[in-house]
Structure 1
Amino acid sequence: MNRDTPLFRLWVEFRDNRIAVAALVVIIAIAVLAILAPLITPQDPYNLAKLVLADARRPPGTVGSGGYVHWLGTDAQGRDLLSAILYGLRISVLIGIAAGAVAFIVGATMGALAAFAGGRTEMLIMRFVDLQLSFPAILLALVLSAMLGQGHLQMITALAAAQYAYFARTAHGAAATERAKDYVEAALSTPLPARLVLFRHILPNCLPPLIVVATVQVANSIALEATLSFLGLGLPVTEPSLGMLIANGFQYLLSGRYWISIYPGIALIVLIVAINLVGDQIRDQLNPRLKR
């Protein structure tokens, strides 16, 4: 990598924060384990035909009827909990990234378009965004999930619709600053179409604050998906998302079978905290006022 590039300088500053580097390593490890889940897990928790009810609620470290050790125990359906957590992490990471990407594209485009167009268009778009921001994201996600039903696409749509306003507000502020600069006025005086000026000149310069928002919203999407699945409004019960695993074991906590809820909860917390730590470090580096 060229040492004079901004990306290399960004990495040099990033690696000086050991906590952020450790969080990044955790994220990479979780992503690798989630991708390789079908190859390294002893059981496919999606395959209901291979679940044995006699293996239900086995404590950690016991050997099941399949002949392998359940290192984290089993849940109420007889799923190997380690396998279910790794598959659940796949779902959480996929939905979090997909919902964040959709919200990023829609929100950034709306915010930049409002700042670029100005006038009545800006007023209508931003008043609509402000109206949505007045409601908690969890409330909007609950309503949309109940309306759209269960499924991956429905969940991604609900989460993106509940979160795009954060990107729109951030993009509007950054694009309004860029819109007033001389290079944008010079570009508009050329025969270039206005849309090219918007997407080639304004939006790229709005990326730093949007990247920070994206890291936060990906973590929020993962937490919202787990919350909705815990409440029974997320993914189908046949898919072991982390929220569903926590919900399945909640009723057994008082009976001493803590592992059914505790271990998926720990995995969820570690993933969200790691993403937020990386996002905080990126925010500090991209914001000159926060640089140490």
Structure 2
Amino acid sequence: MATPATPLGRFWITYKESKVGVVALGVVAVILVVAILAPLIAPQDPYDLSRLSLMDARRAPGHIGTGGYTHLLGTDAQGRDLLSAILYGLRISAQMGLVAGIVGLSIGATLGISAAYIGGRTEALLMRTVDLQLSFPPILLALVLVALLGQGKAQLITALVAAQYAYFARTAYGAATAERRKDYIEAAYGTPLSRRRIVFRHLLPNCMPPLIVVATVQIANSIALEATLSFLGLGLPVTEPSLGMLISNGFKYMMSGRYWISVYPGIALIILIVSINLVGDRIRDQLNPRLRR
């Protein structure tokens, strides 16, 4: 069988040589599809108060509720079907991670490449600012920003982006600095090409491989950071069913034997984060020839 001519086709041929990478990618794809279709496949809308019954609160897995359907994973303290709540929670958590990762990538890549291309005082100012932020733990910065901005999706995304864009900026700066010293970039300066065309046509595409790897890691980190903030009560409001909030809601019932309220959302969160990280590891191996077998 001939190797596909497209770069994406060649990339997939080598990517699927890793069974772990293929399984992880399949898990991520299934989670995204399930998250998107949550309103259609969930047995219950867990945040429709008219469909909840306190008589079903803290029921064990397999209990048949007042609505007539079986709660396969049990219910929480408000009588919500836990399977439905996890499906909706995956939707919110994946959305927060993807949006924060894409926005952080855009801002960080712009700053890093601009600093490497412009140089001089602009480079020093931008990168010293990035280095200063990298000296603070992301969770600490996110906690401060959420406390200042308040609860809500927009506020939380702002906090996640502000806490993680520096990783993209530092990666983009390192890649752009290395590319800028190469002969083809130096030769481009002697042509009629505009600076914008040099940056977007030549410099940026060659900086994307390491940025893609960092993006997968930071998306997983954003999901974990959002879950941590929601667990502490500083993330999304109670009307937004993130996985972190579901874990927090059931944590106080762990000692009473009602483990399922926290354990099942926790398992879903771990599967999501680990799968994204495994996909990122495989992409890193593919884009770095020194890591290939």
d(CA) in 1 for partners of 2:248, 2:255: 14
Work out the number of aligned pairs and report it.
292
TM-score, structure 1 as length reference: 0.97
Q: What's the offset of the Cα at 1:242?
A: 0.3
d(CA) in 1 for partners of 2:141, 2:195: 34
Give unpaired runs (5+ residues) of structure 2: none
Match status 1:114 vs 2:132: no
Check the 8 A contact 2:246/2:262 in 1, yes or no.
Answer: yes
Over the residues paired in the alignment, what is the CA RMSD in angstroms? 1.2
- Which residue number in structure 1 is paired with residue 54 of structure 2? 53
- Which residue number in structure 1 is paired with residue 226 of structure 2? 225
- Which residue number in structure 2 is paired with residue 249 of structure 1? 250
Q: Within 5 A, what are the aligned runs for 1:152-163?
A: 152-163=153-164
- Which residue number in structure 2 is paired with residue 84 of structure 1? 85
d(CA) in 1 for partners of 2:230, 2:50: 23
**What amino acid does structure 1 have at the position aligned with 2:134?**
L
Q: What's the offset of the Cα at 1:45?
A: 1.5
Q: What's the offset of the Cα at 1:29?
A: 0.9
Q: What's the offset of the Cα at 1:189?
A: 2.4
**What amino acid does structure 1 have at the position aligned with 2:51?**
K
Check the 8 A contact 2:3/2:10 in 1, yes or no.
Answer: no
Q: What's the offset of the Cα at 1:2?
A: 6.8
**What amino acid does structure 2 have at the position aligned with 1:92?**
S
What SS is found at the alignment partner of 1:144?
Answer: helix
Check the 8 A contact 2:105/2:168 in 1, yes or no.
Answer: yes
Match status 1:13 vs 2:10: no
My pick for the range that moved more, 105-114 or 50-59, is 50-59
d(CA) in 2 for partners of 1:50, 1:142: 34
- Which residue number in structure 2 is paired with residue 67 of structure 1? 68
- Which residue number in structure 1 is paired with residue 44 of structure 2? 43
Q: What's the offset of the Cα at 1:192?
A: 3.0
d(CA) in 2 for partners of 1:190, 1:77: 67
Give unpaired runs (5+ residues) of structure 1: none
What SS is found at the alignment partner of 1:206?
Answer: helix
**What amino acid does structure 1 have at the position aligned with 2:230?**
S
TM-score, structure 2 as length reference: 0.97
Deviations 1:189-229 (A, max 9, x none): 23333223212211111000000000000000000010000
My pick for the range that moved more, 2-11 or 107-116, is 2-11
**What amino acid does structure 2 have at the position aligned with 1:25?**
G
